[in-house]
Amino acid sequence: METIIEACKGLDYSWLPQSVEGFTLVTSSDSDYAELANRIERGEEVLRVPIFHYQNDLGWRWCALYDKEVEDYTVHIEMPLFSFVDISFVRADLESFWNGLKERCVKGLTNMLIEPSNNFTFTYRRRGIPTWDFSEVMPEELEGFVRDIDPAHGIRMINGSFIVGEYRKMDECTGLLLYYNELRDEYFAELRYKSYPEIDHHLDAKNLDDLSDVLREHLGPILQGLNNRVD
């Protein structure tokens, strides 16, 4: 890891735009890298070497880093309630990773988080998800939770899944994620309570009509249930 850290310290960040459509650049400094090296010297386990990230006011992050667990340089999409890897950027060596970022960094961030419709597949569009009128069954705020992802701006993940809805408390990692998986052609939900994941089958559906019905019946009570929990 010491070799990785030293290599990252020598990177030239000057080509990176300071901001991209509401996302602000944050780069690792020499002191950040020095702190990682000190942690290793103290015998602490360091699994990631952050290089830079872009972050917006919602706390969405597009992160370039080295991941020791897979021994690759990669891009992680880190959201308040979920995270995943953009496998198109994965590289084993720093030079090819950095060159790939120079070619596609802004485009990758834009397509993933700023204009996610660029990543919509034929199946996603054919199911009518981008044009579905969800306003009645997915209000902007409900039970103190804010909707910050909707079907018209669904985020494409891996393994055929899209996040088509997210409700969260803005001050804690608690909320609900609504998915569509195009390989299984189904909708389903996961809950987060203070970052801990849970499956909830009340919102399982095979089409948008069924999804509308279960959202109308269960979305409010599910979020209310999260509010009423006592540790």
pLDDT tens sequence across 172-192 = 899 999 999 999 999 999 999
Q: Which domain holds residue 157?
A: 122-227
Give residue 1's pLDDT band: very low, low, confident or very high (50, 70, 90). Answer: confident
Task: Determine the pLDDT at residue 203.
Answer: 98
- Tokens coding 181: 């998986």
Question: What is the dihedral sign for C-alpha 102, 106, 112, 118?
Answer: negative
Q: Give the strand pairing for 23-27 and 196-205.
A: unpaired
Average pLDDT over every residue of 78-98: 95
Q: What percent of the chain has pLDDT over 70?
A: 99
The last residue of a domain, from among 71, 90, 114: 114
pTM over cut 0.75? yes
Token match 């496998």: residue? Answer: 87
C-alpha distances (whole Å) from 181 to each of 16, 29, 184, 185, 204 are: 34, 39, 6, 6, 11
Q: Are residues 12 and 99 in the same domain?
A: yes
Q: Are residues 90 and 69 in the same domain?
A: yes
Average pLDDT over every residue of 120-138: 97
Q: Are residues 74 and 168 in the same domain?
A: no
What average pLDDT is seen over the chain? 95
Average pLDDT over every residue of 17-30: 97
The last residue of a domain, from among 114, 139, 172: 114
Q: Are residues 40 and 89 in the same domain?
A: yes
Nearest-5° angle of CA 202, CA 207, CA 210? 50
Q: Are residues 28 and 105 in the same domain?
A: yes
State the total domains in the chain.
Answer: 2
Task: Determine the pLDDT at residue 231.
Answer: 62
Q: Are residues 150 and 195 in the same domain?
A: yes
Task: Determine the pLDDT at residue 224.
Answer: 96
Q: Any residues with CB less than 8 A from the CB of 159 and at least 6 apart, and which? A: 181, 183
The last residue of a domain, from among 114, 148, 169: 114
Q: Any residues with CB less than 8 A from the CB of 21 and at least 6 apart, and which? A: 110, 114
Average pLDDT over every residue of 135-159: 96
Q: Is the pLDDT of residue 111 over 80?
A: yes
Average pLDDT over every residue of 78-100: 95
C-alpha distances (whole Å) from 63 to each of 55, 74, 105, 163, 195 are: 9, 8, 10, 19, 19
Give residue 92's pLDDT band: very low, low, confident or very high (50, 70, 90). Answer: very high
Average pLDDT over every residue of 86-102: 96
Q: Are residues 106 and 131 in the same domain?
A: no
Task: Determine the pLDDT at residue 36.
Answer: 93
Q: Is the pLDDT of residue 230 over 90?
A: no
Q: Are residues 98 and 138 in the same domain?
A: no
User: Distance between CA 37 and CA 56 in Å, rounded?
Assistant: 28
User: Distance between CA 200 and CA 126 in Å, rounded?
Assistant: 26
Q: What percent of the chain has pLDDT over 90?
A: 94
| Helix ranges, the chain (H) | 2-9, 30-41, 94-109, 122-126, 208-227
> How far from the centroid of its chain's Cα atoms is residue 190's Cα?
14
